[in-house]
Amino acid sequence: MDRSVTDAELAALAAYLSQFVTPHKLSLMDAVLAQRTRYLTVVLEDIDKPYNAAAVLRTCDGFGVQDVHVIQNVRHLYFSNHVTQGAERWVTTHFYREPDGHNTAHCYAALREQGYRIAATSLRPGSVPLHELDLAQPTALVFGLEESGLSDEAHDSADIHITIPMFGFTQSFNLSVSAAICLYELTRQLHATAIDWRLDSATRTAIKVTWLQERIQGGDALARRYLAGDSS
């Protein structure tokens, strides 16, 4: 959309666009949105394997996590559509790729401004076991390269360090496996609390409009015409 719209306009636009998709698809969108959250979010720092990153995107969709933040200091990541299975259409992806190379700092600052605590995945001593992580505050989970982990900046600037307890010879899981374990455990915990982790009504409507625009052929043009007063 070319201009900001009010919550009432978004609601009316969602109702207008809904006529162009099947009742089954609408019902599915509403059911998925009812379980979506921004209380947890995922951050990927300089990931260099598109297939693994795509699997993380698919995992986020599967566990109802709406946002993925992608830090690109030295690597330009793209997602493998073959692996995402369409998850890129349903998850909101935020890229940090300013040429100054300080994108980890930019991402952390943006997340903190939104009220997130930064939880860096780590193998260093003193890291909190995943199942002991306190979810009293919205939390951003930060993942790095499988071989070398997070940059020193991403690790040292985090608010807390977490680790997945392991009992074998290997010291780390595959990126997508780590993300899946973390999101399964934390969404399980979150859903069992009294925390208001769901999206508010206005946010659900805004995301629904985005989904509808992407699902409908010519959806962007339809939305622009409707907001301009032409709903013919």
Tell me the domain boundaries of the chain. Answer: 1-36+198-220, 38-197
pLDDT > 70: what percent of the chain?
91
In this prediction, residue 82 carries a pLDDT of: 45
Please indicate whether residue 1 or residue 228 has the higher confidence score (pLDDT).
228
Q: Pick the residue with more confidence: 52 or 142? A: 142
Q: What is the rounded distance in angstroms from the CA atom of residue 130 to the CA atom of residue 116?
A: 17
Looking up tokens 């600052």 gives 109
- Report the SS3 class of residue 168: coil
Q: What percent of the chain has pLDDT over 90?
A: 71
Q: Which pLDDT value is given to residue 101?
A: 85
Residue 209 reports pLDDT greater than 90: yes
In terms of Cα–Cα distance, which of 136, 134, 113, 144 is closest to 42? 144
Contact 68, 94 (CB under 8 A): yes
Residues with Cβ within 8 Å of 43's Cβ and at least 6 positions away in sequence, in order, are 68, 69, 70, 71, 107, 111, 118, 140, 141, 142, 143
Residue 5 pLDDT level (bands cut at 50, 70, 90) = confident
Question: What pLDDT digit, counting tens, does each position of 65-121 carry?
Answer: 999 999 998 766 655 554 444 678 899 999 999 988 899 999 999 999 999 999 999
- pLDDT of res. 86: 65
pTM: 0.91
Q: Which amino acid is at 212?
A: L
Output the pLDDT for position 79: 55
Residue 179 pLDDT more than 60?
A: yes
45-49, 85-89, 126-130: range with highest mean pLDDT: 126-130
One-letter amino acid for residue 144 of the chain? G
CATH, domain range 38-197: 3.40.1280.10
Task: Give the pLDDT confidence score for residue 83 in this predicted structure.
Answer: 43
Query: At 6, which amino acid appears?
Result: T
* Cβ–Cβ under 8 Å, residues 39 and 139: yes
Give the pLDDT of residue 231: 67
Contact predicate 157/105, CB 8 Å? yes
